[in-house]
Amino acid sequence: KAGVTQTPRYLIKTRGQQVTLSCSPISGHRSVSWYQQTPGQGLQFLFEYFSETQRNKGNFPGRFSGRQFSNSRSEMNVSTLELGDSALYLCASSPWLGGQDYGYTFGSGTRLTVV
């Protein structure tokens, strides 16, 4: 069974540009969450989507946005990139809303470097 696929794995962007990251969850999983991981702040929640609807959002500026498609694939977009946006962006999928004893399956992440 295929895992969570994130593309691209590595990305270098210039300050001020925008970027789109993609996540394909495990087949049948309808909940997709995004996290940012940095050495200073650790893992922080960005947002969560279920059935194409954003259900929950973390404490990040509006430059961070996302969406989910009908096939559960998700994208996140960061506009007007800042140096501090350099991080490992992780996507996690889960089979349903609720069922907290299931846990999440994470992808390998997209390493974004802003120069």
Partner 1 sequence: TQLLEQSPQFLSIQEGENLTVYCNSSSVFSSLQWYRQEPGEGPVLLVTVVTGGEVKKLKRLTFQFGDARKDSSLHITAAQTGDTGLYLCAGESGSARQLTFGSGTQLTVLP
Instruction: Catalog residues that contact partner 1 under the rule CB under 8 A.
Output: 4, 31, 33, 35, 42-45, 48, 50, 55-56, 58, 90, 92, 94, 97-98, 100-109, 111
End-to-end CA distance of the chain: 37
For 94, other C-beta atoms within 10 Å of its C-beta total 21
Which one, 70 or 101, has the nearer CB to partner 1? 101
Q: In whole angstroms, what is the distance from residue 53 CA to residue 86 CA?
A: 27
**Min. distance of Cβ 16 from partner 1 in angstroms?**
27
Which one, 31 or 85, has the nearer CB to partner 1? 31
